[in-house]
Structure 1
Amino acid sequence: MDWTLEVVIVPVSDIDRAIAFYRDQVGFALDHHTVNEHMTVAQLTPPGSGCSIVVGTLPAQNAMTPGTLHGLQLVVADAAAARRELVDRGVPCSEITAFDERDGGTFFGFQDPDGNSWAVQQIRARAERPLIPLEARATFGG
């Protein structure tokens, strides 16, 4: 049986600001944004990912303090290009650090406006072997 991680709740203090940051600066796709008398929920997905983040006002989201989620990790084929893209979009990023010269040992990081922190890991093999093949991405909307 497969067990897939498909959604991670990110606690934020301002949903519209979080949507703008993750969509416009980080480059995630806004899958949906639901606002009604019971809730506000937005789901955003990184390009090429099968896992999304959700921000909103549901009880599970309200149970966490904004800015307390740390250690989320994104994987890219080229850390220097990814960092440059984020910096060009106005996202402050740490410098790139190579902890190990083997593939997977290079990282940099950034934070959202609330202080939730992200690590970005370089795995060069993703360029040839993405987790979601390009031909399947249309199915996922990305």
Structure 2
Amino acid sequence: MDFRIELVPLAVSDVDRAVAFYGDQVGWPVDHDRTVHEGLRFVQVTPPGSACSICFGTGLEMLADGQRQMIQVVVEDADEALAYLRERDVAAEGVDDLPWGRFVRFEDPDGNRWALQQLVVPA
């Protein structure tokens, strides 16, 4: 039996600002942005190459108000990921070299945190 994580909810205070951040600034495809009816809006964004998407909106009741997420994703090259984010004016920390990986970290406007990890194979 397979267990595939396909959707991780984020709490955001301003849906339009989050769409602009993830879609326009970070440059990730916005797969869905639908207002089902007044009070219910669903947005889904999928990072390139990922089988898992993030979602946010209004009326979803997936997370308590004020809840924040920490999401870690794997990238092929941490330096390239940092350059990509900085080219798009995303405030990202420099590469943190650790024995178990190379990390680049950033936050969205609502404080949801991201860690981009380049895997390191021990010698």
Q: Answer yes or no: is the 8 Å Cα contact 1:15–1:56 preserved in 2.
A: yes
Residue 22 of structure 1 is matched in structure 2 by 22
Return 5+ residue gaps in structure 2 as ranges: none
CA positional deviation for 1:37:
2.1
Superposed CA RMSD: 1.6
Structure 2: distance between partners of 1:48 and 1:5: 14
The structure with more helix, counted as a fraction of residues: 1
Which string of whole-angstrom CA distances, capped at 9 and with x for unpartnered residues, describes residues 80-131 of structure 1? 111111111010011101111xxx5110100000111100101379xxxxxx
- Runs of 4 or more, structure 1, over 2 Å off, are none
Residue 74 of structure 1 is matched in structure 2 by 73
Give the structure-2-normalised TM-score: 0.89
Structure 2: distance between partners of 1:99 and 1:25: 28
Alignment of 1:11-90 (within 5 A): 11-35=11-35, 36-57=37-58, 58-61=60-63, 63-65=64-66, 68-70=68-70, 72-90=71-89
Q: Sequence identity, in percent? A: 45
Q: Answer yes or no: is the 8 Å Cα contact 1:76–1:124 preserved in 2.
A: no
> Aligned pair count?
119
The structure with more strand, counted as a fraction of residues: 2
Give the structure-1-normalised TM-score: 0.78
Return 5+ residue gaps in structure 1 as ranges: 126-142
